[in-house]
Chain A
Amino acid sequence: MFETLTDRFEGILTRLRSRGRLGDAEVAEVLREIRVALLEADVNLNVVRDLTERIRARCTGAELSKSLTPAQQVIKVVNEELTETLGGTQFKLSYASKPPTVVLLAGLQGSGKTTAAASLARWFRQQGRSPYLVGADLQRPAAVEQLRVLGASVGVGVFSEPTDPVSVSRRGLEEAERLGRDVLIVDTAGRLAIDKELMEEVRRISEALHPHYTFLVVDSMTGQDAVRTAEAFNATLSLDGVILTKVDGDARGGAALSVKQVVGKPIAFVSTGERPADFEPFHPDRLANRILGMGDVLSLIEKAERNYDQQVAEKAVERLQAGRFSFDDFLEQLQQVKKMGPLQGVLGMLPGMPKEVKNAKIEEKDVAKVEAIIRSMTPKEREEPNLIDGSRRLRIANGSGTSAADVNNLLRQFKEMQKMMRSLPMGRMMGGVGGRQKRSGGRNKKKGGRVTPSARHSR
């Protein structure tokens, strides 16, 4: 979702990078651009004003560094301010000494509370807890039914009865205690912050439950209104954090910045899809990096560590540089990368990828196609792709259910990448890729792209 914001900043900062000095006029121009970018990203106007003022004060101020160029300094400042605004540190959840730990979810209609409730339940189960769900949304037709189905899918029991939301919540708590569950998640009806009656109702639910955590569920596509909503809910319920939903869309997610700034409570979780599994804790520092076009390197490392066999990877790079990287190696690496999640997601985490590559839609079935093509090659062909002539190509295409053009494309792509990789100097390969691509120019430019300075930023 934050890609477009990333693009904007990349555009601004690339120009900045190419400038030697930075005067008041440049700072003003950069700030104007940052303002537009943030407003287009739905960051609240007042938050934008605040943020740009802080950036201005720090940029035009004295703290000139010897080791950084002025441009680098602006980037650093923007990054720090964004991280700061997004929450600085990660949200930490602790459990009540006397279980159950009670979690209350509230928010506007359609923000994704019911899905978030089930996702959260699944997450708690993964943490080794035994959660219990309460369906206190008696407003929307079939909301409780939806929660029951979702609850069943994640193996968590659901309590509800057609009385009233306050007594359902109270009885749900009793039931959880009776069953010895250690986490209770209460899903409430969607309500407008200005609906006095319903806000009073949710306040009474909160009073009955004494929740340890109250989360506001916020749609990441929300516009300027996010702030007013968050303020009102915070005033009624005193929130502990925010769950940001629908992050898998392409909304620029300014709401995340705004809500954090205004409520002063961290974004605890993000929901990245409709399935309960698409749910994870939120990492503010990583997000700021991503906004600045540095890629989500930390998430990538974490995923790689969990899924990637280090020795296999080392072997692959060796073979790459020796020019002996075959389709078999490729297939093996592809399996490893696939373990890290959908390729599209992995791609999004890579630092400094050009827009064209980032926007390319990689679907699982297309990846399957690549695999099918390779699997239709003989071992010899995989070792020496040059062997593949017209008739072999046709056989491969037929065998994999693709077209000769598809096979050709893969072969060409493979060869080009192979050539590029071979020419990488050891140690500073990222810069090497960039330099190489720039020189090769022409129509191949889009494929490789600037995989440049980010490696330096990775920790």
Chain B
Amino acid sequence: MSPLEIVIVVVVFVVLVSGGLLVGRTRRRAGRPPFPSRMPEAGATTAQPPSEPARVAAPPIELAPLPRPELRERLGRARALLSGYLDGLRAHGLDESSFEQLEEALILADVGISTTTELIDGLRAKVREKEIGQSPEALIEALRAELTAMFEGDSPSLAKGTGEGPTVWLFVGVNGVGKTTTIGKLAAREAAGGSQVVLAAGDTFRAAAGEQLETWAARSEAGIIRGSEGADPSSVIFDAVQHAAARSAELVLADTAGRLHTKANLMEELKKVRRVAERPPGQLTEVLLVLDATTGQNALVQARQFTEAVGVTGIVLTKLDGTAKGGVVLAVRHELGIPIKLVGVGEKVEDLVEFDPEEFVAALFE
């Protein structure tokens, strides 16, 4: 028996015994409710003394009439590739290769193989049944209609609480998708719309995440509550809600640290953040999952896991101004029914726009 085999046997043994115990336990636990939500004021007592809302003398950005950039225009660059496909398709008659070209275009847009296959098979059937015209143009038109219909009934507006107390919007997502930047832009937008906004710097893990948010707060004249590095994020959000309530600010935008959905402990932490955020006087009306448009099929897994943990109510799709087309949101909407709320198309404040399905799809097809 080789030394390697010896080591493997021992490791297998140890891992299986330790791991096996857990398999049994997790299964049992699944039946029970998550876990009791206790830790009442604990958050407040463990919190660092909240810093006074930063009102830095930085010149606020001119925001008055919010210019609404044409999403279509911003997507111009992303569009080029797909329309290249479509031009080739139009030049050609309708045959099997038309379907293949469309399939290819959808896959390259990160729509994903299963949603793509479903769409293309549907088109094939429709052409066969003569439900749509026998031309490439009709085929493209049908696909466009189908894609737009996927977002039917969605509203991009973000819900505000109707009762007393500040509305809370919670932002979640994996690392580096643009949560902090999105909050910064949204704060400016909401402040320009006349709301008094408090930012909760709940990312207490990443170095200087608080500083980053503070810069944004200063730009939009929003208040900000920070904890020290490594502080309990729930306590920061608790303090922010209290702070907002005391000053009758309408809106709390709660940032959280980026976390991979595979980290069980971090997802548990997020559940706690959610429970604290929805405690009165706070009214949690939106849990927004921020997705990076360059992300591929893993976005679907992210959406599923975050929804399971904290009940995602909407998607913010960032970095759509690059060449990535974020087609995976089609799959997210299709499979999980989560609406897309906002789209990020640049680094400036006004580059965060409401999602418009028709514009989105049309932009892809022009």
Binding partners A and B:
yes
Which A residues fall within an 8 A CB radius of B?
36, 39-42, 45, 108-112, 139-143, 145-150, 153, 192-194, 219, 221-226, 228-229, 246, 248-252, 254-255, 274, 300-301, 304, 308, 310, 313-314, 316-317, 320, 330, 333-334, 336-337, 340, 343, 346-347, 350, 356-357, 360-363, 366-367, 369-370, 405-406, 409-410, 413-414, 417, 421, 424, 426-427, 429-430, 433, 446-448, 451, 455, 458
In the assembled complex, which residues on chain B have CB atoms less than 8 Å from the CB atom of A330? Answer: 13-14, 17
B113 beta carbon closer than 8 Å to chain A: yes
Whether B211 pairs with A360 at a CB distance below 8 angstroms is no
Whether B18 lies near A334 (C-beta < 8 A) is: yes
- Residue pair B324, A145 in contact (C-beta under 8 Å): no
Nearest CB of chain B from residue A408's CB, rounded to whole Å: 9
Cα distance A349–B17 when bound, in Å? 17
Q: How far is the CB of B119 from chain A (nearest CB, A)?
A: 15
Residues of B within 8 A of A421 (CB): 9, 13
Give the Cβ gap from A231 to chain B, nearest Cβ, in Å.
10
| Cβ contacts under 8 Å, A361 to chain B | 22, 26, 264
Contact among A148, A252, A333, A360 with B22 in the assembled complex (CB-CB below 8 Å): A360
Q: Are A360 and B26 in contact (CB under 8 A)?
A: yes
Interface pairs (30), CB distance under 8 Å = A36-B113, A42-B110, A42-B296, A45-B104, A109-B178, A142-B215, A145-B212, A148-B207, A223-B110, A223-B299, A226-B296, A248-B263, A249-B260, A250-B260, A301-B4, A313-B10, A316-B10, A330-B14, A337-B11, A343-B14, A346-B11, A350-B8, A357-B23, A360-B26, A363-B22, A410-B17, A413-B17, A421-B13, A427-B5, A448-B16
B257, closest chain A residue (CB):
A274
Q: Is B364 an interface residue (CB 8 A)?
A: no
Nearest CB in chain A: distance from B348 CB, A: 12
B211-253 interface code vs A (CB 8 A; 1 in, 0 out): 1101110000000000001000000000000000000000000
**Cross-chain contact B5 with A430 (CB below 8 angstroms):** yes
Please tell me if the beta carbons of B9 and A221 are within 8 angstroms of each other in the complex: no
Contact indicator B20/A447 (Cβ below 8 Å): yes
Contacts A249-B262, A347-B19, A421-B9 known; A145 to B208 CB distance under 8 Å?
A: yes
Stretch at the interface among B128-136, B169-177, B354-362: B169-177
Tell whether, in the assembled complex, residue A223 and residue B6 are in contact, meaning their CB atoms are under 8 Å apart. Answer: no
Is the Cβ of B13 less than 8 Å from the Cβ of A360? no
Q: Which residue of B lies closest to A145 (CB)?
A: B208
CA A435 – CA B292 in complex, angstroms? 46
Chain B residues within 8 Å of A320, by CB: 9-10, 13
B328 within 8 A of A: yes
Please give me the residue from chain B that is nearest to A447 by CB atom. Answer: B20
Q: Say yes or no: B208 contacts A143, CB within 8 Å.
A: yes
**Nearest-CB distance from B84 to chain A (Å)?**
13
How many angstroms from the CA of A41 to the CA of B328 in the assembled complex? 13
A251 touches B25 (CB 8 A): no
Q: Are A142 and B18 in contact (CB under 8 A)?
A: no
Residues of B154-176 whose CB lies within 8 A of A: 174-176
Q: How near does chain B come to A93, taking the closest CB pair, in angstroms?
A: 25
- How far in angstroms is the closest Cβ of chain A from B17? 5
Shortest Cβ distance from residue A37 to the other chain B in the assembled complex, whole angstroms? 9
Contact indicator A314/B17 (Cβ below 8 Å): no
Query: What B residues does A347 contact at CB under 8 A?
Result: 15, 19
A249 touches B297 (CB 8 A): no
Is the beta-carbon distance between B19 and A343 smaller than 8 angstroms? yes
Q: Do the beta carbons of A363 and B265 come within 8 Å of each other?
A: yes
If A223-B328, A224-B108, A406-B25 touch, whether A108 touches B294 (CB-CB below 8 Å) is: yes
Residue among B77, B104, B301, B324 making CB contact with A223, cutoff 8 Å: B324
- Given A223-B297, A409-B21: A192 touches B321 (CB 8 Å cut-off): yes
Distance of B331 from chain A, by nearest CB (Å): 11
| Other A-B pairs, 5, CB within 8 Å; known A147-B207, A221-B296, A274-B205 | A139-B347, A219-B292, A223-B295, A313-B3, A414-B17
Q: Is the CB of A409 within 8 A of B110?
A: no
In the bound complex, residues from chain B placing their C-beta under 8 Å from that of A308 are 7
Chain B residues with Cβ below 8 Å from A433 are 12
Q: Give the chain B neighbours of A222 by CB distance below 8 A.
A: 294-296
A333 touches B14 (CB 8 A): yes
Q: Is the CB–CB distance between A366 and B22 below 8 Å?
A: yes
B298 and A251: CB pair below 8 A? yes
Assess whether A224 is in contact with B110, with CB atoms less than 8 Å apart.
yes
* Contacting pair B113 A252 (CB below 8 A): no
Q: What residues of chain A lie closer than 8 Å to B301, measured between beta carbons?
A: 250-251
Does B323 lie within 8 Å of A409, measured CB to CB?
no
Q: Is the CB of A447 within 8 A of B23?
A: yes
Q: Tell me, yes or no, whether B30 is within 8 Å of chain A by CB.
A: no
| Distance, CA A433 to CA B8, complexed state (A) | 12
Q: Is the CB of B216 within 8 A of A141?
A: yes
With both chains docked as a complex, state the minimum distance between the C-beta of B337 and any C-beta of chain A, in angstroms: 21
Q: Cβ of B298 and Cβ of A221 under 8 Å apart?
A: yes
